[in-house]
Amino acid sequence: MTEQPSANQIVIGVDTHDLVHVAVAVDHLGRRLSDLSIPTSPSGYEYFVTWASGLGEIIAVAMEGTGSYGHALCTLLRSRGVHVVEVSRPSRKNRRNRGKADLSDAESAARAFLGGEVTAKPCGNDASVAMIRSLRIPREALVNQRTQAINQLRALIVTAPAELRESLAGLTAKQLIERVAHFRVGSVTSPAEASRFAMRQLGRHVLHIDVQVEDLDRQLDPLVAGRAPELLAIYGVGVEVASNLLVAWDNAHRIRSEAAFASLCGVAPVPASSGKTSRHRLSRGGDRIAKPRPLANRPDADADG
């Protein structure tokens, strides 16, 4: 159950942005006490703490974007022992009906906590996981670039002159990259030479990406091994899988039960019945889970049962 504030306690809602954060403080009845706009800087965050502390006892700060624009403020507040909860963006329907304003979004975040609609905890603030998360961002971008370059290379092979295309047939991706990266190309005076030059550039691009990925892996390996050695000890789990799990599930307190785990994964059953239809759907869309009908009511039921 969500803890309810008493008369001397306050809840603060924060709407986060790139350059400015907007905050609204409400009392235990949801009445607005004060509002504030601060720059996204260390001095701005310190002023926020001073302002909030002067209004009363802070029972919670309900904030949008704790993993993006609000990450720095969220980290500071949690280091000071302030309870921070993650608030989802208002629905499009509400924004269309009520309009969009930073102060109203911040106030809505605070009221959502008072109404018991917000209980999600922000992602964890483990330092090693934060480093792993930072290193995985460029690694994933490079791997995507590598895949795109290989796909473009294969597309070039399809349209290349027959002799060149036949010379590259049957090669694995690794063999293909090595072959085209070492093409000797003179002046581009024919379609075949243009194809060879383009293939060589893509091959060298892939090899350069491989070097960058290896550099990132050398930094990731000790971080993952130091943070979760028991995870790496599981058969079939390497640094790539382990780092993915650490980044995705860095706040174990969010997984209180099997039901909480299902909700976090978006596969918790949610009632979606209407009239004579009795069914459920997954909490984040997906397939519908229909309630089975009695055999006698099925059109294909056998007369003898």
CA dist., res. 152 & res. 156, Å (int): 6
> Would you write out the chain's pLDDT as a tens digit for each of its 305 residues?
455 556 678 999 999 999 999 999 998 888 889 999 999 999 999 999 999 999 989 999 998 888 788 888 998 998 888 999 888 766 566 556 555 678 888 888 888 888 887 767 777 667 888 899 899 999 999 999 999 999 999 999 999 999 999 999 989 999 999 999 999 888 888 888 999 999 999 999 999 999 999 999 999 999 999 988 998 899 988 888 888 888 877 666 667 778 877 877 778 888 888 877 888 888 775 454 444 444 444 444 444 44
Q: 25 and 49 in contact (C-beta within 8 Å)? A: no
- Kindly list the distances between the CA atom of residue 186 and the CA atoms of 41, 175, 190, 193, in Å, as whole numbers in the listed order: 55, 22, 10, 7
CA quadruple 30, 36, 40, 42: dihedral positive or negative? negative
Instruction: Count Cα neighbours of 131 within 13 Å in the Cβ-side half-sphere.
Output: 12
